[in-house]
Amino acid sequence: MSAPLRARQVWAVSAKHMMTTFHTSRVRVFLLAIFGILAAVAFGRHTFAQPTATPSSPPSRGKEVYDSHCVECHGSEGKGDGPASHLMTPRPRDFTRGRYKIRSTESGSVPTDDDLLRSVRQGLYASSMPGWQKILPDDDIRAVVTYVKTFSPRFAADQPVLMQPSAPTASSPESITGGASVYEKLQCGKCHGSDGRGTGAATTSFEDDWGQPDLPVKGRTG
């Protein structure tokens, strides 16, 4: 084989090898570029994407009513420690203990729903609790009573124990005399006074179950 022919064959093989190598390199560069772009996009989404906020459950109607009309006195957590509570005697009720004065149930028992509804509708005499029946729709009153019960686990655990009321006694001179005898026997005058207005009371400083100042209810307003 002549030298020129051999040279041409060597050049052809070398050129083919170079083209193959060049083509392979371009493919590698192209693949690396694609991989880099995809990695950058994935990293950017992971780094900069804002988490989607999970929509919160809408507040119950009872909570809305409570936050609008009750929280100033009873507090946001129902502890009777609202911003206006220190101005009131007696202090607003602490709902978290599930203990109520005005009820138709036995001592130590939770009140019935009707007891709570009555207190909200009519208010509580000799306190700062107003009646809401002329201000709020009855559906709102029922809703807020349901919400108030959630402050104490007692309503889920205990059932109201109703008292058995005696037959009503008609007012008469005899019944009034009998009532006066019971008033004296039970020593009601030590707190409420001999005339029901605090006159001659032995004790004039009172605290409720939470250590807050309290006053005895006066039986007469005239």
**Residue-range domain boundaries for the chain:** 61-157, 181-214
3-state DSSP assignment of residue 214: strand
CA atoms within 13 A on the CB side of 4: 0
Residue 14's pLDDT is 47
What's the pLDDT at 201? Answer: 87
**Residue-level pLDDT at 218:** 61
Q: Are strands 206-207 and 213-214 parallel, antiparallel or unpaired?
A: antiparallel
Where the chain has pLDDT below 70, the residues are 1-59, 217-222
CB count in 10 Å sphere of residue 212: 17
CATH architecture of the domain with residue range 61-157: Orthogonal Bundle (1.10)
pLDDT of residue 196: 85
pLDDT attached to residue 12:
47
Q: How many angstroms separate the CA atoms of 153 and 149, rounded?
A: 8
Q: Look at residue 17 in the predicted model and tell me its pLDDT.
A: 47
Nearest CA to 86 out of 133, 143, 29, 128 is that of: 128
The residue behind tokens 């889920």 is 156
User: Tell me, what's the pLDDT at 129?
Assistant: 96
Residue-wise pLDDT for 102-141, tens only, equals 999 999 999 999 999 999 999 998 899 999 999 999 999 9
pLDDT at position 78: 97
- Torsion angle in degrees (nearest 10) through CA of 63, 65, 68, 70: -80
Measured distance CA(127)–CA(80) in Å, rounded: 14
At 217 the pLDDT is: 66
Which pair of tokens denotes residue 134?
């002329």
